[in-house]
Structure 1
Amino acid sequence: MCGIAGFIDFSKRSDFQLLKSMTDAMTHRGPNDAGYEVFEQEHAMIGLGQRRLSILDLSASGHQPMHFDAYTIIFNGEIYNFREIRAELELLGYTFQSDGDTEVLLKGYAAWQENILDKCIGMFAFVIYDRKKNEVVLFRDRAGVKPLYYYWHQQQLFFSSELKGLMAHTAFPKVIDPNSLSLFLQYSYIPGPYTIFRHTRKLSPGHLLRVSLQRREVEEAGYWNVLKSYQQEVTKLTETEVIDHTRSLLHSAYNYRMVADVPVGVFLSGGYDSSSVAAILQSDSSSKIKTFTIGYKEAAWDESAEARKIAGFLGTDHHEWIVGPEEARGVLEHLPEIYDEPFADNSTVPTTLVSQFAAKEVKVVLSADGGDELFAGYNKFNQSIRYTSSMPQMVQRSISGVMSLVSPELIPYFNKQYNFSSRYEKMKLIWASGKPQQALKYISQYLTEAEVSQYTGLAKSSYKTNFDLNGELGNIADPLNRLLAVDYKTFLVDNNLVKVDRATMSVSIEGREPMLDHRLVEFLAQVPTSLKTKGGVNKYILKEIVHKYIPRELMERPKRPFIAPLQEWFRDELKEQMRYYLTGERLARSGFFQVKEVEKLLEHYLAGGKVSHQKLWNMLVFQLWYSRWIEKL
C-alpha cells in the first residue's frame, strides 16, 4: 500500500522538486520509504514518485520506482495472487530479486502487456512508463478500491493517489467546479469521474489512461465493467449450488486478503458483512484473528454489544472502544486533511476513529464494503422498485403533475413531519420518471436539485453521472440487478471505498476489501435476484452462509447503519462548531451560499425542527474543506 504521484509535462516546466512536493504530500500513505525520478524525454518531462507503506517484502528490494528492461513502474496496492503469477513468469524464464508483488507486476507487464490485468486478483493503481512504445499508462483496479486522480490541461498532466498531491504542484489551479459542488451537496460525495476542481478527474474503476508522448494525446479506455457481468445469462445452478459456490469464493477472497508480512485485523460491526469476514477467517485460522469495534455512549446508536457477542462466539482477539462527542470533536477538524475533497458521509467520524484504534495493533485491516451491493442489502433497492411499480405510470405522472402545483408547506399535518418538503419533492420526481434507477438516484440525495439552488443559487449540475445510466442498462432484465449495478458504480466506489481508503491511510494502515474480489462480483451478478432476496429476506445468500458459522439468534436483529450520532451531538456538544463554520461571515467568504437561507435552516434545526442534519453536515463539511484547502493555501 502506497501513495503515487507524478507528472507528464509537455511544457517541460515541472522538475524534481515539484515531484518531491507532490509525493511527500502523501507521506501518511507511505511512511517507510520514498522514491522520486524525473526523466527528460524528447517531448516531455516525466516525473514518477512513490511513498511506500511496507506490507509485502519489507526489504529495500521493494523500492520504487522500479525498473526492468524498457519499463518503469510505480505501484499502489496489492496483487494477492502474485506468487501464482510469479510461477508463470519463472516458467517463461524471468528471474526475481525481490519477494514482493511490484516486481511481479512489472515483469508481468513486460511479458503480457495489458493482459497482465486479466491475471491479477487485487486492488491497485499503478503507472507504467514504456520506453518501447513511447507512452505512459495509468491503471486503476476493477472495483476502484485504490484511488487515482489526474489533471489534464494546457499540455500538463498531473496524477496522484489523492488530490493533495495535485495541489502540491504550483501549476495546479484550484478552481472549484460549480457542477461538482452541486453534486456534492446533493449526494454528500462527488460521483466520478468528476472532482471538486475543473479539468481534474478520477480515473474510473476498470479503466486505464494512455498518454502518447509523441502525439501528446491522452485517452481513457475501459478494460473491465461490472455492467458486462450483469448482462450475462443468469446461472442455471440450484440454490444449494449457488450458496456452496459463493461460500467457496468467500473463503478464497478472504484468505487472499490475509497475505502480508505484517499483522492483519478485521473491522467488526456485528452485521452480516463484517461477521462473515471474521467468521470465515477464524474458521480457517489456528490462531485468534484480531477484530476491532467502536461503540457509542448513546445506546440507540451502539452496536458494540452485538459485535462483542459475535467475537466471543467466534473466539477472536477482540478490541473495543466506546467513544463520544469529545472523540468526534478531535476528528472533525482533521476531516478536510484526511478527505481532501469535500466528503460528508455520516460515518467518516467512526471510520476514522476505528482506524486510529486498529492502527495500535495492526498494519492491515479488512473491511466488508460491497456486501449490500452484491447481496442486495439496502432497503433503498426495495423502495425504488416499490415506488415505481405500485401503480400505472400514467397515474404516477398525473400525481406528480398535481404535486407540482401544491407547495408541501401548505399541506396540514404533513408539513410538520420530519424532512417532509424534501421527501415530497423526491416523490414528485420519482413518479414523474417512473424508473427504478431514477428513484434510486433521488432516494440517494440529501438535498434535491431544487434545494441546492435554494441554498446556493447554483444552477442544476449539467454533469451526467452513473445514476443517469439508461441505455447502458438495457440488457439487464431484472430491475433489482439494475439497481445493484448502479449502486456499485456510484455509492460504493465514490463514497464507501473513499471513506475507508482515506481513513485507514490517514493512520498509515492498509484497508482491504475482500468482498470486492472480481471473481465474487462476476459470479453474483449472474445469480437470479429471487435468491438475493427471498421470502422478504434481503441478503438471503449471505445470511444462509453466515448462519453456518454463527447461530441465527445472534445475527437476526434490525439492520443499523455504521454511523455516529451526529444528529444528537450537533444539537448539544458540537453545536458551537456547527455555528462557527455556518455563520453568515464565513458563508459569505466562500461565496457559494445564500447566507440568509442557510442561517434560517440552521436555526430551525438547532431549535429542534424536524430537519435532516445531513443537509447542514454537507454544508459544514464544505466550509471546513474550503477553510483548509482554499483559504489557507
Structure 2
Amino acid sequence: MCGIAGFIDFTQKSDTGILRSMTDAMAHRGPNDAGYEVYEHPHASIGLGQRRLSILDLSSSGHQPMHFEQYSIIFNGEIYNFKEIRTELEKLGHSFHSGADTEVLLKGYAQWQGKILDKCIGMFAFVIYDRHAGEVVLFRDRAGVKPLYYYWHNRTLLFASELKGLCEHPSFKKEIDEKSLSLFLQYSYIPAPYTIYRNTHKLKPGHLLKVSLEKEVISEHEYWNVLNAYKQPLTHLSEGDVIRHTEELMHSAYSYRMVSDVPVGVFLSGGYDSASVAALLQSNTSSRIKTFTIGYKEPQWDESREAKKIAMHLGTEHHEWIVGPKDAQEVLHHLPEIYDEPFADNSTVPTTLVSRFASREVKVVLSADGGDEVFAGYNKFNQSLRYTGSFPRPIQRTLSAAMSVVSPEVIPYFNKQYNFASRYEKMKLIWASGKPQHALKYISQYLTENEVNYYTASPVDGYKTNFDMNGELDRMNDPLNRLLAVDYKTFLVDNNLVKVDRATMSVSIEGREPMLDHRLVEFLAQVPASLKTKDGINKYILKTIVHKYIPRPLMERPKRPFIAPLQEWFRDDLKEQMQYYLSGERLAKSGLFNVPHVEQLLNHYLSGGKVSHQKLWNMLVFQLWYSRWIEKL
C-alpha cells in the first residue's frame, strides 16, 4: 500500500523538487521508502513519485519507480494472486529479482499490455510510462478501492492518490466547483468523477486514462463495469448450490487478503459482514486472528458487547476501546487533513479511531465494506421498491402534483415531526418519477437539490451522477439488482471506500476489502432477489453462511449503524465547535452560503427542534475543510 503522485507537463517547467513535494505530501501513505524520478520526453516532462508502505517483500528490491525494458511503473495497492501470475510469466521466460507484486504487474504489462488486468485479483491504482509508445497510462481497480485523482488544465496533467498531492504543484488552482459543493451537501460526499476543485477529477473505477505525449491528448477507457455483471442472465442454480458456491468464493477472497509479510487484523463491529470475515478466516487457521472494535458509552450506539461475544465464540485475539466525545473532539480537527475534500460520512470519526487503535498491533486490516451492496442489506433498497410500487402510476403522479401545491409547513401534526419537510419533498419527487432507482437517489440524499439551493448563496444546475442512470439499467436482470448496481457505483465507491482508505492510510496501515473481490461480485450479480431477500430477511445468503460458524442468537438483533452519536455530542460536548464554525462571520468568508438560512437551521437544532443533524454536520465539515485548504494558503 502506497501513495503515488506525478505529472505530465507539456510546458516542461516541472522538476524533481516539485515532484518530491507532491509525493511527500502523502508520506503517511508510505513511511518506509520514497522514490522520485523525472524523465524528459521531446514533448513533455514526466514525473513519477511514490511513497512506499512495505507489506510484501520488505527489502529494498521493492523500491519504486520500478523499470523493465521500456516501461516504468509506480503502484499503489496489492495484487493478491501475484504468485500465480508470476508462475505463468516464469513459464514464458521471465525472471524476477524481488518478491514484490509490483514486479509481477510490471512484467505482466510488458507481456500482455492491458490484458494483465483480467488476470489480477486485487486493489490498485498504478501508472505506467511506455517510452517506445510515447504514452503514459493511469489505471484504477474495478471497485475503486484505491483512489486516483487527476488535474488537466493549461497543458499540465497532475495525478495523485490524494488531492493534497495535487495541491503541492504550482500550476494547480484551488478553485471551488459550486456544482460539486451542491453534490456534497446532498449526499455528504462528492460522487465520481467530480471533486471539489474545478478541472480536477476522480479516475472512475474500472477505467484507465491514456495520455499521448506526441498528440498532447488524454482519453478515458472502460475495462470493467459492474453493470455488465448485472446484465447477465440470472443463475438457475438451486438455493443450496448458490450458498455453497458463495461460501467457496468468500473463503478464497478472504484468504487472499491475508497474504502479507506483516501482521494482519480484522475490524469487527458485531454485524454480519465483519463477523463473516472473522469467522471464515478463523476457521482456516489455528492461530488467533486479531480483531478490533470500538464502542461508545452511549448504549444505544454501542455494539462492543456483541462484538466481544462473537470474538469469544470464534476464539480471536480481541481488542476493544470504549470512546467518548473527547476522543471525537480530538479527531474532529484532523478530519480535513485526512479527508482532503469535503467528506461528511457520520462514521468518519469511529473509523479513524478504530484505525488508530488497530495500528498499535497490525500493519494490515480487513474491513467488510460492500456486504450491504452485494448481499442486499440496506433497507433503502426495500423502501425504493415499496414506495414506487405502492400505488399505480396515475395515482402517484396525482399525489406528487397535489404535494407541489401544499406546503409541508401547513400540515398539522406532521409538520412537527422529525425532518418532515425534507421527507415530504423526497416523497413528492419519488412519486413524480415512479422509478425505484430514482427513489434510491432521493432516499440517499440529506438535502434535495431544491433544499441545497435554499442554503447556498446562488442556485446552480447540478451535475448528473450514476444515481441518474436510466437507459443504462434497462437490461438489468432483476429489479433489486438494479438498485444494488446503482449503490455499488455511488455510495460504495465514493463514500464507504473513501472513508476506510483515508482513515487507515492516515495511520500508515493498509485497509483491505475482501467482500469486493470481483469474482464474488460477479457471481452474486446473477443471483435473483428472491434469494438475496427471503421471507423478509435481508442478506439471506450471507446470514445463512454466517450461522454455520456463529450461533443465530449471537447474531440476531436489531442492526445498528457504525456511526458516532453525533446528535447527542453536538448538543453538548461539541456544541462550541458547531457554533463557532457555523457562525455568520465564518459562513460569510466563503461567500458560498445563504448565511441567515443556515443560522436559522442551527438555532432551530440547538433549541431542540427536530432537525436532521446530518445537514449541519455536512456544513460543519465543509467549514472545517475550507478553513484548512482554502483559507490556510
TM-score surpassing 0.5? yes
1:167 maps to 167
Contact 2:178 2:460 (C-alpha < 8 Å) held by counterparts: no
2:280 maps to 280
Give 1:326's aligned amino acid.
Answer: K
| Alignment pair present for 1:449 and 2:443 | no
2:20 maps to 20
Query: Counterpart of 1:35 in 2: which secondary structure?
Result: strand
For residues 153 and 173 of structure 1, what CA distance do their matches in structure 2 show? 9
1:402 maps to 402
Q: Deviation per CA, 1:438-470, whole angstroms, max 9, x where unpaired?
A: 000000000111111111134244311000011
2:244 maps to 244
For residues 461 and 289 of structure 2, what CA distance do their matches in structure 1 show? 47
Give 1:279's aligned amino acid.
Answer: A
TM-aligned CA deviation for residue 236 of structure 1: 1.1
Give 2:14's aligned amino acid.
Answer: S
Contact 1:254 1:281 (C-alpha < 8 Å) held by counterparts: yes
For residues 313 and 461 of structure 1, what CA distance do their matches in structure 2 show? 53
1:463 maps to 463
2:295 maps to 295
For residues 100 and 65 of structure 1, what CA distance do their matches in structure 2 show? 13
For residues 44 and 85 of structure 2, what CA distance do their matches in structure 1 show? 33
2:571 maps to 571
For residues 522 and 233 of structure 1, what CA distance do their matches in structure 2 show? 12
Give 2:468's aligned amino acid.
Answer: D
Query: Counterpart of 2:511 in 1: which secondary structure?
Result: strand
1:528 maps to 528
For residues 359 and 51 of structure 2, what CA distance do their matches in structure 1 show? 18
Contact 2:232 2:477 (C-alpha < 8 Å) held by counterparts: no
Contact 1:250 1:520 (C-alpha < 8 Å) held by counterparts: yes
2:119 maps to 119
2:365 maps to 365
Contact 2:233 2:477 (C-alpha < 8 Å) held by counterparts: no
Give 1:252's aligned amino acid.
Answer: S
For residues 463 and 450 of structure 2, what CA distance do their matches in structure 1 show? 16
Equivalences for residues 129-144 of structure 1 within 5 A: 129-144=129-144
For residues 266 and 203 of structure 1, what CA distance do their matches in structure 2 show? 28
Q: Deviation per CA, 1:105-163, whole angstroms, max 9, x where unpaired?
A: 00000000000000000000000001121100000000000000000111110000000
| Alignment pair present for 1:323 and 2:329 | no
Q: Deviation per CA, 1:12-40, whole angstroms, max 9, x where unpaired?
A: 11111110000000000000000000001
2:9 maps to 9
Indicate the larger mover: 178-187 or 452-461. Answer: 452-461
Q: Deviation per CA, 1:224-261, whole angstroms, max 9, x where unpaired?
A: 00000000011111100000000000000000000000
Q: Deviation per CA, 1:508-529, whole angstroms, max 9, x where unpaired?
A: 0000000000000000000111
Contact 1:449 1:460 (C-alpha < 8 Å) held by counterparts: no
| Alignment pair present for 1:433 and 2:433 | yes
1:40 maps to 40
Give 2:378's aligned amino acid.
Answer: Y
For residues 583 and 108 of structure 1, what CA distance do their matches in structure 2 show? 56
Give 1:177's aligned amino acid.
Answer: D
Contact 1:55 1:262 (C-alpha < 8 Å) held by counterparts: yes
For residues 546 and 305 of structure 1, what CA distance do their matches in structure 2 show? 18
For residues 276 and 365 of structure 1, what CA distance do their matches in structure 2 show? 15
| Alignment pair present for 1:185 and 2:185 | yes
TM-score (norm 1): 1.00
Query: Counterpart of 1:158 in 2: which secondary structure?
Result: strand
Give 2:115's aligned amino acid.
Answer: N
Contact 2:355 2:503 (C-alpha < 8 Å) held by counterparts: yes
Which structure 1 residue ranges, 5 or more long, are not aligned? none
Query: Counterpart of 1:519 in 2: which secondary structure?
Result: helix
Contact 1:74 1:128 (C-alpha < 8 Å) held by counterparts: yes
1:146 maps to 146
1:617 maps to 617
Contact 2:230 2:477 (C-alpha < 8 Å) held by counterparts: no
| Alignment pair present for 1:512 and 2:519 | no
For residues 18 and 298 of structure 1, what CA distance do their matches in structure 2 show? 48
For residues 63 and 197 of structure 2, what CA distance do their matches in structure 1 show? 32
For residues 382 and 235 of structure 1, what CA distance do their matches in structure 2 show? 22
TM-aligned CA deviation for residue 286 of structure 1: 1.1
Equivalences for residues 214-293 of structure 1 within 5 A: 214-293=214-293
Query: Counterpart of 1:57 in 2: which secondary structure?
Result: coil
For residues 171 and 135 of structure 1, what CA distance do their matches in structure 2 show? 22
Query: Counterpart of 2:368 in 1: which secondary structure?
Result: coil
1:391 maps to 391
For residues 323 and 479 of structure 1, what CA distance do their matches in structure 2 show? 41
Query: Counterpart of 1:182 in 2: which secondary structure?
Result: helix
Give 2:257's aligned amino acid.
Answer: R
Which structure 2 residue ranges, 5 or more long, are not aligned? none
1:537 maps to 537
For residues 450 and 235 of structure 1, what CA distance do their matches in structure 2 show? 42
For residues 477 and 105 of structure 1, what CA distance do their matches in structure 2 show? 34
For residues 361 and 542 of structure 1, what CA distance do their matches in structure 2 show? 29
Give 2:92's aligned amino acid.
Answer: L
For residues 158 and 20 of structure 1, what CA distance do their matches in structure 2 show? 13
For residues 107 and 449 of structure 1, what CA distance do their matches in structure 2 show? 48
TM-aligned CA deviation for residue 90 of structure 1: 0.3
Contact 2:78 2:124 (C-alpha < 8 Å) held by counterparts: yes
For residues 446 and 468 of structure 1, what CA distance do their matches in structure 2 show? 17
Query: Counterpart of 1:383 in 2: which secondary structure?
Result: helix
Q: Deviation per CA, 1:400-449, whole angstroms, max 9, x where unpaired?
A: 00000011011110000000000000000000000000000000000111
Query: Counterpart of 2:47 in 1: which secondary structure?
Result: strand
2:379 maps to 379
Query: Counterpart of 1:197 in 2: which secondary structure?
Result: coil
Contact 2:276 2:546 (C-alpha < 8 Å) held by counterparts: yes
Give 2:38's aligned amino acid.
Answer: V
Contact 2:457 2:591 (C-alpha < 8 Å) held by counterparts: no
Contact 1:180 1:461 (C-alpha < 8 Å) held by counterparts: no
Query: Counterpart of 2:21 in 1: which secondary structure?
Result: helix
Contact 2:265 2:362 (C-alpha < 8 Å) held by counterparts: yes
For residues 585 and 562 of structure 1, what CA distance do their matches in structure 2 show? 34
For residues 45 and 16 of structure 1, what CA distance do their matches in structure 2 show? 10
Identity of aligned residues (%): 78
Query: Counterpart of 2:405 in 1: which secondary structure?
Result: coil
For residues 150 and 402 of structure 1, what CA distance do their matches in structure 2 show? 46
TM-aligned CA deviation for residue 353 of structure 1: 0.2
For residues 443 and 387 of structure 2, what CA distance do their matches in structure 1 show? 11
Q: Deviation per CA, 1:561-589, whole angstroms, max 9, x where unpaired?
A: 10000000000000000001000000000
Contact 1:183 1:461 (C-alpha < 8 Å) held by counterparts: no
Give 2:217's aligned amino acid.
Answer: E
TM-score (norm 2): 1.00
Q: Deviation per CA, 1:506-565, whole angstroms, max 9, x where unpaired?
A: 000000000000000000000111100001000000000000000011000111110000
1:198 maps to 198
TM-aligned CA deviation for residue 84 of structure 1: 0.2
Contact 2:10 2:45 (C-alpha < 8 Å) held by counterparts: yes
For residues 272 and 86 of structure 1, what CA distance do their matches in structure 2 show? 35
For residues 295 and 477 of structure 1, what CA distance do their matches in structure 2 show? 40
For residues 565 and 8 of structure 1, what CA distance do their matches in structure 2 show? 45
Give 1:548's aligned amino acid.
Answer: K
For residues 322 and 189 of structure 1, what CA distance do their matches in structure 2 show? 27
Give 1:593's aligned amino acid.
Answer: F
Contact 2:477 2:526 (C-alpha < 8 Å) held by counterparts: no
Q: Deviation per CA, 1:488-510, whole angstroms, max 9, x where unpaired?
A: 00000000000000000000000
| Alignment pair present for 1:54 and 2:54 | yes
TM-aligned CA deviation for residue 607 of structure 1: 0.6
Contact 1:206 1:223 (C-alpha < 8 Å) held by counterparts: yes
Query: Counterpart of 2:608 in 1: which secondary structure?
Result: coil
Query: Counterpart of 1:96 in 2: which secondary structure?
Result: coil
Give 2:6's aligned amino acid.
Answer: G
Q: Which runs of 4+ in 1 moved over 6 A?
A: none
